[in-house]
Amino acid sequence: MIIDLLSDIKIQMKWTDCGIILSSRPFGERSRILSILTQNYGRFSGLIKVPKSHSRLSIEPGTFVEATWNARLSEHLGQWSLETTAAMGAKLLSSPLPLTALSSACQLTDQCLAERHPYPILYEELKHLIEELVSAPPALPTYVNYELALLKELGFGLDLSACAATGQRENLIYISPKTARAVCEEAGEPYKSQLLPLPAYWVKEEALPDIRSSLMVTGHFIAHHLTQSKGLPLIRQRLIDMVGK
């Protein structure tokens, strides 16, 4: 029993996992604090010392790494030891739109997820999004799907299965901003000024993606339920502006 407990504490104080860098901020002259979403341990922060020449180490958001976190006590900030496995953001430096989408997804994830709680589904979703942005830019429908997954995994998923008022499954064109449930045209007509538009391609496979409208809808629920007083990242508004051009 005591041996098992000590073993658990040891694991908490040092572990290695695959991860995606979410953010990097300065700490002193040659150190930075990195927030990394790991596959099995969730979002962790830690300190890393960056040498003058670090061409082999990418610490930009969206970078895939093999990360080792180590601390004297589990509640400490801890230190990172990293090996870059794919510098994904660097591959998008000449592609402003997908690079902005990558930055927005990383900032949202960093802002919305609680620290030290596993989110294996969101890790896979973010990894898939970044791979899509690099291999098939701009991959904006995949970006929208990531925001929908973020809402769902944190307990605020949209219910588009049937009209909240009538139960019918046809002619769904609105979303209630309060309940996140779909509303049909007939039931929503008297209240349409108070409802959000439901992007048609979310419920009809043949419809073309309406990315700007989709981002406005997901943004409403993310701001209301997840970021709240912090507000949405400015980079996300830049993404909407770029999509609208």
The model's pTM: 0.91
Of 83, 64, 19, 63, nearest in space to 45 by CA: 19
pLDDT per position in the chain (245 positions), as tens? Answer: 444 544 444 446 899 999 999 999 999 888 999 999 999 999 999 999 887 665 556 899 999 999 999 998 878 889 999 999 999 999 999 999 999 999 999 999 999 999 999 999 999 999 999 999 999 999 999 999 999 999 999 999 999 999 999 999 999 999 999 999 999 999 999 999 999 999 999 999 999 999 999 999 999 999 999 998 899 999 999 999 999 76
In three-state secondary structure terms, 207 is coil
What CATH code would you report for 13-90? 2.40.50.140
The CB-based long-range contact list for 77-82 (8 Å cut-off, 24+ gap) reads 77/33, 77/45, 77/46, 77/47, 78/44, 78/45, 78/46, 78/47, 79/46, 79/47, 79/48, 80/34, 80/36, 80/46, 80/47, 80/48, 81/48, 82/34, 82/48, 82/57
CB atoms within 10 A of CB 45: 18
Q: Where in the chain is the domain with CATH 2.40.50.140?
A: 13-90
Residue type, 12: Q
